[in-house]
Amino acid sequence: MVIIYEDESHIRDYQTLRATWSVKGRQKQIPAYGHHATVRLLGGVTIETGEFHCMETNPCNAQAFLQFLQYTLGQYPDKHAVMVLDNAKIHHANILQPFLCENEERLTLVFLPPYSPNLNLVERIWGWMKESVIANRFHANRKELRESIVSFLEHLAQFPEKVLPRIGQVIMSEN
């Protein structure tokens, strides 16, 4: 069995400014051109390993969520997946029902209580991504924003053990 926390995120390049240190008299300057590039993502974090699976989508709808479910089950062909998620409309859409019935032996959806994003561990990954990708940075266009997101995702894929502490999991060594 594998436990996956899933959610959607919209990474918007709004020239997000955060507190930062700088040399006196050399305050960091972030250019802004008045455009707002957006990348829509569906993602899930596996709490046992720290693997983060992510898929870009446009629009973010029930059909895209269905594709993400198919993709996720493909990542774990020999395991039962328990997916913990919020109560967004796209998670309850009628279009999902045939797939869910067909895969009830391999997939269980567990819905969090309404208005409780703090219980969804993947929210911590989205926050980390936004802090790394858009805080105190400028992207001239959607392509540059997407490249920054891909770079962050590649880092997570290379070092899934860095994800575990972010979601509150303790790495246990085997002796």
DSSP reduced 3-state for 46: strand
pLDDT along the chain (175 residues), means of 10: 96 64 69 73 95 94 97 96 97 97 97 94 94 82 91 94 85 51
20 vs 57: CA distance, rounded Å: 32
The listed CATH number (3.40.190.290, 3.30.420.10, 3.50.30.10, 3.30.360.10) that belongs to domain 2-13+34-166: 3.30.420.10
**pLDDT given at position 119:** 94
150 vs 167: CA distance, rounded Å: 20
175 vs 170: CA distance, rounded Å: 16
DSSP reduced 3-state for 156: helix
Q: Domains of the chain: which residue ranges?
A: 2-13+34-166
